[in-house]
A = this chain, B = another copy of it.
């Protein structure tokens, strides 16, 4: 059964803070969802409303993200409207600068994330790019993997298509020291698209591998549905203005977006334009996974 529909006027009168997932909600890949840009503009026009776009994707710099948004005619969205694990992680490093400033981070992630963390977080990252068994001699490669000369303050785990055995080994050995923090950008298992029917692994499997070998759980996960992002979002709303009960989360994924909303006391609106389907909602209902079940649905094209 489809969740009940919520109308534009109900949304405008009941909520002050509007949180959106991006891919599958405002656009699909590079194609805008009909009505999404107009709806975002309506909200941005109202000085009483706060608008946030929340993505779990850590593969673009903020500059690249702003370009993408402009290209799709969401040009009035500013940097202050965008939230991602990268931005929250940079803020975390800055808030804890006594520990992290100019310190080493072992980064499982892409070059763009390295650039963002170094510029925005004030840390020095190492480990990005290829690091395969082939880089070491065959017989003794295990003894050659350097897990001793540069000990980082944290291991940061994000999407990395170069992940490898030596990287896993380094992460496990660094994390054997309980003082080295284990920070995970997001735990999505897969990306949505871009090739229909093809499964594309995201950060989740590498995080699972490192948890398995290190015996540790992440100290912080920065993306949806975790609280670090919610706390950051609250801090971005004008002081004294944030109210969970007057906050609404629009998303397509049950396990990130809907859970993020529900875990933080927001009203949730499920969009039918993304990854999850009505069948997934029925399954969540059957399994009693109440935090995945949306309160409402709607279509921006009908606003």
A: which residues have CB within 8 A of B?
130, 132-134, 141-143, 147, 160-165, 168-169, 172-173, 176, 189-190, 194-195, 198-201, 204-215
Contacts and interface: CB of A to CB of B under 8 A. Distances in A.
Contact of A208 (B162, B173, B176, B211): B211
Nearest to A203: B212
Given A172-B201, A199-B176, A162 B132 contact: yes
A173 B190 CA distance: 11
B132 A201 contact: no
B199 A172 contact: yes
A213 B209 contact: no
A204 B213 contact: yes
B142 A134 contact: no
Contact of A161 (B141, B200, B206): B141
Given A208-B208, A209-B209, 9 more contacts: A130-B133, A132-B132, A132-B164, A141-B161, A163-B164, A164-B164, A189-B215, A206-B209, A208-B212
A54 B268 CA distance: 53
A215 B255 CA distance: 13
B162 A200 contact: no
Interface centre among A143, A206, A215 (most CB of B within 10 A): A206
Nearest to A170: B199
Contacts of A211: 208
Contacts of A163: 164-165
Nearest to A164: B164
8 contacts: A132-B134, A133-B162, A142-B195, A142-B198, A143-B195, A161-B165, A173-B198, A208-B208
A302 to B, nearest CB: 33
Contacts of A215: 189
Contact of A209 (B134, B208, B214): B208
Interface centre among A141, A165, A198, A201 (most CB of B within 10 A): A201
Contacts of A214: 199
A63 B48 CA distance: 76
A172 B209 CA distance: 15
A213 B190 contact: yes
Given A163-B165, A173-B199, A189 B204 contact: no
